[in-house]
Amino acid sequence: MSVAVGLVLLAALAVAGSAAAVASADVSWVLLAGAAALAVLLGATATRITHSELADSRRAAAADRAQLAQSYSRLTEERATEHAAYVASIESRIGEREQMLTELEMALSAAQRRAASAIRTKNAETSRAAGLQEQLVQAEDRATDAMVKVHELEQELDTLRAELDSVTAAWHAAESVRRHA
């Protein structure tokens, strides 16, 4: 660009110098016409230099934009991979919790059957055990233990359900954030 500005200034000086010489009437108009032609030639050269610089800067800017687009593409791929891994992890955790929940429900059902059986046994022992007080006490102990176990399993089941709800809510929130990103 400095060369182009220098050429335009040189052309202006040549035209001004020849115009001053013609004005003093010592020099012919041919000198002024030659200076004007030189000015046009230098102006065209300056324009060509400016055009080349502009084209080079546009190519450089386009290359920068292409590189930036590739960087964003890689970043998007990385985030998609991370998100897929996160979703797989959450789904795995949900599966584990559901499996534990199923097992606890089965254990609760079995404990309830045992408790019902213990209560039936207690009632049968009570009705026929006028003199079997010690057996009655043992049956009551078993029934109490079974009830305590049922209560403990119900509490553990409630805790696992709450954890499952929490994990599911977190997963849905993560899915919502991913969709908006």
The string of pLDDT tens digits covering residues 13-33 is 777 777 776 666 666 667 667
Percent of all residues in the chain with a pLDDT value above 70, rounded to a whole number: 87
- pLDDT at residue 78 above 80? yes
pLDDT value of position 92:
93
Q: What is the DSSP string of 41-96?
A: HHHHHHHHHHHHHHHHHHHHHHHHHHHHHHHHHHHHHHHHHHHHHHHHHHHHHHHH
pLDDT tier for residue 178 given thresholds of 50, 70 and 90: confident
This prediction's pTM: 0.38
2-180 folds as: Helix Hairpins (1.10.287)
Domain definitions of the chain by residue range: 2-180
The string of pLDDT tens digits covering residues 92-117 is 999 999 999 899 999 989 989 988 89
